[in-house]
Structure 1
Amino acid sequence: MEGITTRQQFTLNKILNEETISLDDLHKQLEISERTILREISSINKFLRKYHLSIYYDNNSSLIVSGNKEKIQELKESLSSVPLQWLINREQRQIIIACELLVNKEPVKASYYSNKFNVVLGSISLDLDGIAKWAVSKKLCLIRNRNIGIIIEGSEWNKRNALIDLIFKYRPYEELLAFLYEQKFDQNIKLLFNMIFGENITDLGRKILASVDLSQFDLNDIKYLKLFIQMLLAIKKEENKDEIHLPDKLKKDTMMLRDYKKIQNFNKILKENNVNLIEDELIYMWFNLTDYKSLFNKDDGSSYIDYEVISKEIIQGISSKINVSIENDKQLIKDLSQHFRRTFNALNLGLKVINPLTNEIEQHYSELFNVVNNVSRLVFSRYNLKIPKEEVGYITLHIDVALQRKQSLLKKLNVLIVCPSGIGSARILESKIKFIFPDIGNISIKALHHIDKYIEDREYDLILFTVPIKLAPEIKKVIVVSPFMIKEDIEKINEFILNLKVTNETNNDELIDMQLSTVTDNEYETANTIIKNLQVETTKANTIENLVDFVVDDIKNLGLIKDKEVLRNAILKREEKGNIVVQGTNVALLHTRIQELTVPFVGVYHVKEPIISQGIGFSKESVNTFLVMIARNEESNYILQFLGRISIALIENKEFIENLKSSNLIDIRKQLINIGNDEGELK
């Protein structure tokens, strides 16, 4: 359309076709400032003069096009001839291109995208540069060949996880849900799904979901949306003969599970709609329906992770940073333990943690968010996991609930009123107390007999008598007041509440001080011993089992353990769970915790021939360098932080990884000393 830019066409199209759209709506969709949008609208209004139309605000602050209805309809028809994909912004175009490449079986030429989106090849080339960098972060590779075309290569598991990540990034999840439930939705979302899967498959997927009974599965909206995407992808892949293939043992074990039969009703509906999926695709969707529990929740006692211990470590670390003791909050420990079980499962499989409120949480709880991030990184890294912001957001909310719970307990006092003059007088006094003192919560009324029992009862923070009573001097929580609550009584109670708060805060600080007591000489000596015992070796081991034998012999020769088999079994049991590889580095982390160790151990082992090891999900990678870290079950906070910083360096510090692969004993020992000396805040 001449006389108007692509972005202006997009803006005009939105205003014409949306029932209500505000300046803020356009700001969010276009990702430009409101001032820029106003300039664009001014330019559009100049263009609209030839139609005798104009854009203005209605009484509800919505933008509308005003003028002759026939002219508005003429304008709509003119704009409808412009393909919607020509009007989307650059980021949306990149997401659609990346999604198509993830789904495509065959390479496509750059000119295809140039024509499709009505942009020059140079713009597509820049888009592909951005997609290439993004692909590396997802353990994928964008291949660009002038003769053959463009394709994304990598494991099917990683491709599918990346696709879901992109779709959730395209628009806010509530808008994606509106599209799924066929409510009022952004037409750009329809464009996304139609360009990735095709309109027929998208409509078929919605029809199947509407007809299948999923009540036996615990599905929230996010899991329901993920299932919709996975089903569309499965149908598309089946159409292209490009299905996912899972390990044979995994399929066999899954199909033997009693709960797996629940998927058969779903499969029946699929077949009724002429969708015939292979077993691998059904298992893949079933994993999402059941939170992947079957992969991790085996009842054989083989789990290498104690989620309660992890929860306590994180809570203790956060308590020490914020100077509030919440270590004894049983509800918090329970909630985090359950949450971490799901999170670790998801991260070990390379799945995206979806938290729609991440940005709001980070903004609203900025200081607490940073504390949670720093503490959690130390703990998660010991399990070769990099904690995403979305997970930090969830933990922050759990901690905030616990803090509010503690604050509520500290603010509201339990009070007992002892009033011999009758229940009527006591009720009047109760009403006055509730009105005057917001820090007082529950109020009980008792008679004078058995008063000794009430005084000794720790349930009451304060006891108010309306008659004089003789008590031992050490009893401070009893105050004699008038039934009419005179000024002097109010002052006495206010003073009591203030002193009680100060005492509670002092007790909390003392508790924190005890936890944050100066690092002992023994802890420093333990860290020095870890560095002194550092092993940097090269071995001919060609399997994980042979490598572990070599490592265990080293540890035995250092005199750190008596029973080699106990340590060997512990390391191998952890390795069987997978995700030991730092992906894309050819480096892996072998670690476990075992109480029989006399002191923690760190070693670096190079193998002459790479060993194929399991990474995130079901990916495999050749590994030639192994960092080995063994700790005891009961370890001091200082030592756990020291080992945690080493783990973080392994995941986040490329220079440290390269040094592990190529440096000698002296250089690596120097790096460990630097890590030990760095006791400041994590960056």
Structure 2
Amino acid sequence: MNISGIEIAISKYILNNEIVHYSDLEEEFQISKPTISKKLTDIDSFLNSSKVDIELIRGRNIGIYFTGNKKYLWELLSSNDEWHPITPKDRRMYILSSLLFRKNITTITNLTQELFVSQRTIENDLLWIRKFIADNNGRLINDSGILKLVMTRDYLYAFMIYVFHDYWGDNINQSDDKNVIFPPILKNFFNENDARRIFQFVDNFLEEHNFKTTEYEYTSLVIYLLIQYTLFSNSVGIIKISNLDTEFENFEEETLELARAFNNKFHYHFKNEQKNYLNNFMILIKSENDRKLSFDNESEISEIKDIIVGHDKSVNIYDGKFLEGLSKHISLSVKRIKFGMKIINPYTSDFKKSYPISFDEALKLFARINKKFNVVFNDDEVALMGMYFASLSERRGVVNKMVTATIVCNTGIGTSRFLEEKIHQEMSDIIMVDGIKVTHELSSEEINSDIIISTVPIRNVNKPYVYVSPFLNQEDKNKILNLIKKINQTKKENDILSKLIDPRLIIFTEEKDSNYKSALLKLIEQTIKYGYSDDELYDSAIIREKLSSTATDGMALPHGTTNHIKKPFIGIIKSKQGIDWLGESVHIAFFMGLKGIDATSMKNIYHQLNNIVENKKIISNLINCDDKKKFFTYL
């Protein structure tokens, strides 16, 4: 039995999300519940006919999920996958990608034939695409029936990276040898062999210079090179661009080396504005690897450092790595912005949600930088600066606490002693082994250690445990470190939100034409009444929202200046129908009235809150709840 394209898409969606519900599938694929039920039955029949050890479960009040060999199921689906766009998002990104990356011309007639939809559907999609392009400083034109995207090159590069990250970022998997595994849509626009050559090129370059990179740095660099190579060969006549070649100075030597090597291998010549983008990557990578930068503008950088630190240098809390990296980043950004080069940061929304304190710190710094250099940083630029503050917080927030562990083996003691010695040699700074046991002792003897490290799978233990090999390879060490991190985090986060959320500060609002101002006013009237704030908190919160809205993905994290807060609190505003929040429809807003809380606790508060925000089931329960006591229990 064969499986259709939409059934493959549904199966992969379930695999990616582990457990889903009918409502999730209805929203994602824009099809009715009876149609979904039929598709799930067809998927079940396909699995039965394939005679594989995989089962599709549809559990009432539990959800829809797969059990069995999921890795093999993914391979099976991929081998049957003749992909074409199914969801509205897939379809629109396919059209947009046709405009950006394809050599042959794009017309409405061609798109209706390729996507198996009506002309009316395509025209509706083009309305969305036209607005999306306009929001990013471009235009979509119809030139005698041929669709063309008009955008200056400085915006075009950033726009391409934005589209690439926004749509494909979650779908590109990086294997251990850093070879990309493409989602099917990519194969419509990119030569997979060329892309693999680019990945290999970047791997070799980084290895040659002994550079370590984050996943973001690595994938962004590869994506940029892939886009450049594709643009060079495929954009002529389809995208109208200005061909600027502005002079830049002070490129890192490694940037020039990379450009020369890429030219030798791919016969692609980078212009100076393109090298400037590469140079931004190189500055970031070299800074993270503590390498000396060729770029040097000591007087400007020294001035920026003074702006970052402020007037009272005696209370400077910033370390050298932070000051050096951020000051040089700002110096480069100021120069780039003055040349009209816009950066689109695909992680801005997630960063604002996950690191609101760091974003606010960067926003305050931006105001001082703007005053000195008269440049305008958008939210994407501010978020990039915020990443330096987030990294600083991570470094300052590390807790070096010794964890006790009991080692468990199956038979004999030799294996455990071998593992104990490996832990002593490689992890003695964080783990102290205070016991060794065999599996049959677990049921009869009490274990007082913080964790159990076992060389065999075990069940029914009342302590956190991790299963490793006695050779303690890097994967095993990562498992142990992740377990310790999770334990420490859980201890710190336990009940912290419940202590800050006063049920009297939970506001339900369903008035028509409700907006963020009226909703915030209702909440702050309560904070004044119960002694949490003074009456000026409202004005400071409104000013903060106008500066840069905290709303994203149906939620908001508003806050005001701390001098108007008398004692710390988290207030909540909830609306089923949605509140107009500076153009965003917000259903849940968490007002962060935090003051006098140490940095580590602050980080834990936001982490726990982020866990709530990322849990679709909890958010759905909160939005649909009409009882404040029950609402509080969902948190």
Please, what TM-score do these two structures have when normalized by structure 2?
0.47
> Bigger relative contact order, structure 1 or 2, given CA contacts below 8 A and separation 6+?
1
Please, what TM-score do these two structures have when normalized by structure 1?
0.44
